């Protein structure tokens, strides 16, 4: 059985990360550490964003770092339930056409 890890904005269980609250520059310290740790693990990384109330370009940079780690491992990063604001930022930064899987 996979343990449930709950650290502030990130809840991890069964191979999926659930991020909730504000994923903005001022709150990313702990989230960044936890998310990058999870990205370093083997296997497809799935991030559910349905409970994200706000996000900014610092969060996009964090997701890009996770994507780079998964690409180095030749594995995937999947974003589920992405907020419209995040989708718009990914498009502006040219990331919507990269190897990022958006569902």
pLDDT per residue rounded down to tens, the chain (103 residues): 344 545 567 887 766 899 999 999 998 988 999 999 999 999 999 999 999 999 999 999 999 999 999 999 999 999 999 999 999 999 999 887 788 899 8
Task: Give the strands of the sheet with 10-13, arranged side by side.
Answer: 5-7, 10-13, 16-23, 45-55, 77-80, 101-102
Claim: this prediction has a pTM higher than 0.75: yes
Domains contained in the chain, CATH given = 5-102 (3.30.750.24)
71-76 contacts at long range (C-beta below 8 A, 24 or more positions apart)? 71/99, 73/42, 75/42, 75/43, 75/44, 75/45, 76/44, 76/45, 76/101
């Amino acid at each position: 059985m996979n343990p449930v890890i709950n650290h502030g904005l990130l809840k991890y269980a069964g191979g999926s990360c659930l991020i909730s609250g504000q994923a903005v520059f001022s709150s990313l310290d702990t989230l960044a550490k936890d998310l990058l740790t999870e990205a370093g693990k083997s296997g497809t990384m799935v991030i559910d964003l349905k409970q994200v109330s706000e996000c900014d370009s610092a969060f996009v940079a964090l997701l890009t770092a996770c994507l780079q780690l998964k690409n180095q491992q030749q594995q995937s990063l999947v974003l589920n339930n992405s907020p419209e604001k995040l989708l718009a930022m990914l498009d502006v930064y040219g990331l919507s056409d990269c190897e990022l899987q958006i569902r």
